[in-house]
Amino acid sequence: MHFYGQENVPKAPDAVDRPLRTFTFVYEPDMELITVEAHFIEFKAGHVAFWREGPDKDFQGTLVLAEANTNVLELKELTK
């Protein structure tokens, strides 16, 4: 019998498995194109945060850049 919530879900990749990704966005006040390298992005209530993970899973990671939502236009991930 199948129970919801007990599916075999693969674990999230750690810092070694997760690739460093390149993101670009247009910075609104200057209309300048900004490039950021990070492992992942968090969208918070007032800002967009770009993070890099470290090798220690108990460590929060490194905040690369946090920018106000109103300043980030046309957010894209560059692919290789």
Q: Considering the domain boundaries, does residue 14 fall inside one?
A: no
Q: How far is CA 35 from the centre of its chain?
A: 13
Residue 41 is part of which domain span? 21-78
Q: Considering the domain boundaries, does residue 10 fall inside one?
A: no
Q: Is the pLDDT of residue 4 over 70?
A: no
Summarised one tens digit per residue, pLDDT across range 10-47 is 666 554 567 889 999 999 888 999 999 999 999 998 99
Q: What is the pTM of this model?
A: 0.72
Q: Considering the domain boundaries, does residue 6 fall inside one?
A: no
By C-alpha distance, which of 40, 37, 35, 34 is closest to 18? Answer: 40
Summarised one tens digit per residue, pLDDT across range 44-69 is 989 999 999 877 766 778 899 999 99
Q: Considering the domain boundaries, does residue 26 fall inside one?
A: yes
Q: Considering the domain boundaries, does residue 11 fall inside one?
A: no
Number of domains in the chain: 1
Residues 6+ apart with CB under 8 A from 48: 25, 41, 42, 66, 67, 69, 72, 75
Q: Considering the domain boundaries, does residue 7 fall inside one?
A: no
